[in-house]
Amino acid sequence: MAQQAPHPSEGPLSAGTDWGFQYVDGEWLERGDRDGIEVMDPSTRESIATVPAGTPEDVDAAYAAAEAAQSEWEETPPHRRASVIRSFVAALESQFGEIQSLLVAESGSAATKAKFEVMTATGVAREAASLPTRLSGEYKDSLIPGKDNQVKRVPAGVVTVVTPWNFPLSLAARAVLPALALGNAVVLKPAPATPVSGGLAIARLFEEAGLDPGLLNVVTGRDETVGDPITGHSAADVVAFTGSTEVGKRVGKRAVESLALPALELGGNAPFVVLDDADLDAAVDAGVYGTVYHSGQACISINRHLVHESLADDYVDRLVRRFEDLPVGSAHDDETVVGPLIDERQRDSVLGFVEDTVEAGAALETGGETVDLGGVTDSLVVAPTVLSDAANDMPAACNEHFGPVAPVIPFANDEEAVELANDTEYGLAAAVFGGDLGRAETVADRIDAGMVHVNDQPINEEPHVPFGGRKASGIGRYNGEAAIREFTEEKWVSVQRTRRRYPF
């Protein structure tokens, strides 16, 4: 007789757990007669879980629970809220390896990426634990005699969090944890491809941490069924969304129509500028990492390599050699650096960008094809790809390709480098490499992006530093003090300490 899979509340977190539940008002609600969503392992192409396909009624129940629980949580002393977040950290650390394995199986994360993602989520949680006692206000002198003006920071209320599949744990954590720490309740919708590590596992960890029922509610579901009800719900006060710009515009519109504040971290097209005085070995090291980390599936990955024309040929040669030496294959192999893309749609999109860019005149130096995996039909692994003699308007350069692809675009001088870097609708992340730090920083200052890194690559995030973009890359910021601004509101309280005289 087959052994029954453990309930989400039982045993270690695992892909072998029965994840056929929603988490609402502190209860694990069975799938029942709802449709199921199969969760696939991108490396093996096998099903690892089936989660409920939520309904609009599930969404309403989640918001009702959140609204009912939030007011008492807001009045909870800050040390108690901080204690719950610290308990979450302890629960996360106690199952570090199990959660890392979940990310490998569910999101196709290579071991190193999965490890770093758990570390990032842990750092975000530790930072969030400090937020309850960092809330502060202002005193404003009054124009009216005997009056005190106090401007306080108060919780926004109910925060909606909608997260993507590429960094499911850390991108959920950076919104869920500070929102809860600051006295809000949360309704979380993880991506359908990663509902466990992006949602249900987080609920389980908070259950262990002793979070009160109703404060975190997780609704798994298809975007076309619960996406609009979640992002446009009348009970939401903030809608925190991470994903594509196209979808983000629709989410932002839905949020504003229901008078919720949109916090949107959207698409990117990160330029990596290599000046003529750069240390080429160091630049190539950074260029490799910033391109193939998580197989290029990051909004802050290097999308375009802008290299001074005097270095471009040498840079391409070195990049090709490095790419061809990278361990490529299943994410379940601990040696793998470049693993699978999330699904067929993403793989075909990346290969299509490469093909169209070659047709537009670029040269394919290496890659541009899938890598066979033994015993796996229809592999999702795309070989690291270098395209030389590319131009800014070619498909792999002007689009956010989201794959292990490096279009190399030569430039003649700093002015052209800045012009090329800014020639995009996006403004999320960028990087500049140069020997003269003053010159490199001057170039960085002229790049229109929310985050620019000098003598590094753009895949950087620190839990206390504002993270976000400009232009079509979003609205608002995450992390540290920025999270306080996103998940709280200003409230003016005036106190008339002496009797006021009115004109009538």
Checking if the pLDDT of 415 tops 60, the result is yes
* Selection from 105, 160, 489, 130 nearest residue 333 by Cα: 105
Q: Which two tokens stand for residue 449?
A: 């992006």
CATH code, domain with 82: 3.40.605.10
pLDDT of residue 325 exceeding 80, the answer is yes
- Does residue 6 sit within a domain? no
Helix, strand, coil proportions of the chain in percent (round to 5)? 40, 20, 40
Residue 57 is a catalytic residue: no
- Helices 201-209 and 168-181 cross at an angle (nearest 10°) of 40
Q: Under a CB-based contact definition with an 8 Å cutoff, are residues 141 and 235 in contact?
A: no
Q: Same domain, yes or no, for 176 and 312? A: no
Residues 217 and 191 grouped into a single domain:
yes
Task: Provide the percentage of residues in the chain whose pLDDT is more than 70.
Answer: 99
Give the model's pLDDT for residue 73. 98
Q: At what angle do helices 96-107 and 111-129 cross, to 10 degrees?
A: 120
Please give the sequence-ordered ranges of beta strands (E in DSSP) within 362-435, or none if there are none. 363-366, 385-388, 405-411, 426-427, 429-433
Q: Which of 127, 207, 265, 461 is catalytic?
A: 265
Mean pLDDT of 297-302: 98
Q: What is the mean pLDDT of residues 428-449?
A: 98
Q: Is position 369 annotated as part of the catalytic site?
A: no
Domain presence at residue 74: yes
* Single-letter amino acid code for the residue at 469: G
Phi-psi bin for 146: left (phi > 0), alpha (psi -120 to 50), beta?
left
- pLDDT over 80 at 171, yes or no: yes
Q: Could you tell me if 216 and 204 are in contact, meaning their C-beta atoms sit under 8 angstroms apart?
A: no
10 assigned to some structural domain: no
- Residue 2: which pLDDT band, with cuts at 50, 70 and 90? very low
Q: Clarify whether residues 261 and 209 are in a common domain.
A: yes
Residues 481 and 447 in one domain: no
In a domain, residue 7? The reply is: no
Length of the chain: 504
pLDDT of residue 4 exceeding 80: no
| Angle, helix 111-129 to helix 78-94, in steps of 10 degrees | 160
* Per-residue pLDDT at 297: 98
Looking at the fold, whether 409 and 297 belong to one and the same domain comes out as yes
Mean pLDDT computed over 455-470: 97
Instruction: Identify the band that residue 459 occupies on the pLDDT scale cut at 50, 70 and 90.
Output: very high
Does 359 share its domain with 478?
Answer: no
Kindly tell me if the per-residue pLDDT of 1 is higher than 80.
Answer: no
What is the extent of the structural domain holding 294?
Answer: 270-454
Residues 305 and 194 in one domain: no
pLDDT in tens, 178-200: 999 999 999 999 999 999 999 99
Residue 164 identity: P
Residue in 117, 299, 400, 461 annotated catalytic: 299
In a domain, 5, yes or no: no
pLDDT at 318 over 80: yes
Q: What are the backbone dihedrals phi and psi of residue 74, each rounded to the nearest 5 degrees, phi first?
A: -60, -35
Q: For 241-272, what is each residue's pLDDT tens digit?
A: 999 999 999 999 999 999 999 999 999 999 99
152-165 per-position pLDDT tens digit: 999 999 999 999 99
Amino acid 3: pLDDT = 63
State the CATH number of the domain containing residue 441.
Answer: 3.40.309.10
Are both 281 and 415 inside the same structural domain? yes
At 374, is the pLDDT very low, low, confident or very high (cuts 50, 70, 90)? confident
Overall number of domains in the chain = 2
What is the SS3 assignment for 28-59?
Answer: EEECCCCCEEEEECCCCCCEEEEEECCCHHHH
- Closest to 226 (Cα-Cα) out of 52, 454, 14: 52
Residue 17 CB partners (closer than 8 Å, separation 6+): 5, 6, 7, 8, 10, 11, 49
